[in-house]
Amino acid sequence: MANTSTATTNFNQTVVALVQKRLEELLRAPLPHIDPANYLNVHFGSKTAQFGFDNAALFSLLAKADAEPDLDKRAALYQLASVQVMKLLPVVPYVWAAGAIALDSNIKGFVPSPIGTVNEPMATLSYG
């Protein structure tokens, strides 16, 4: 039984480390249209039927981060929220459904996002 417990603990620690690394990558993404709220709030900003996760303290922390106008303070609040998510681990994102975009060769100005087809800035495209 101890081996099963140790294996489960090791697996959980590995999953936490991988998820934390991915969240940190998202939080540090150097793109102006990427906002931590686009990830953290979608999954952990309120109780949803999808996960059934309910944590008023985390929801409050994310709401505070959303409302913070100072970018450094806002980033610090999102980092605190990210740590809470890692401690609670209410969801294990083991699948990422990739999308695809096809453009005619006459379309100019498309810059693909490093995180896939999420929030693509289509308004910056031109034809010709």
Tell me, what's the pLDDT at 62?
94
pLDDT of residue 55: 93
Cα angle at 37 between 31 and 43, to 5 degrees? 125
106 lies in the same domain as 88: no
Task: Determine how many CB atoms are found less than 10 A away from the CB of residue 86.
Answer: 15
Nearest to 113 by CA among 37, 18, 20, 29: 29
> Mean pLDDT in runs of 10 for the chain (128 residues)?
67 75 66 66 83 90 92 90 88 67 82 68 72
Q: Are both 107 and 58 inside the same structural domain?
A: no
Do 15 and 62 fall within a single domain? yes
pLDDT given at position 122: 65
**Burial of 80 per CB tally in 10 Å (0-12, 13-18, 19+):** middle
pLDDT at 60: 96
Give dist(CA 81, CA 68) in Å, integer. 14
Pairing of strands 107-108, 126-127: antiparallel
Q: Could you tell me if 43 and 7 lie in one domain?
A: yes
* Pair 77, 66 in one domain: yes
- How confident is the model at residue 67, as a pLDDT? 92
pLDDT confidence of residue 14: 78
13 and 46 share one domain: yes
User: What local confidence, expressed as pLDDT, does residue 48 receive?
Assistant: 81
Q: Within this chain, do residues 34 and 89 fall inside the same structural domain, yes or no?
A: yes
What is the extent of the structural domain holding 43? 2-95
In this structure, the answer to whether residues 91 and 114 fall within a common structural domain is no
Clarify whether residues 13 and 58 are in a common domain. Answer: yes
pLDDT score for 92? 73
Domain count, the chain: 2
Residue with tokens 């949803």: 48
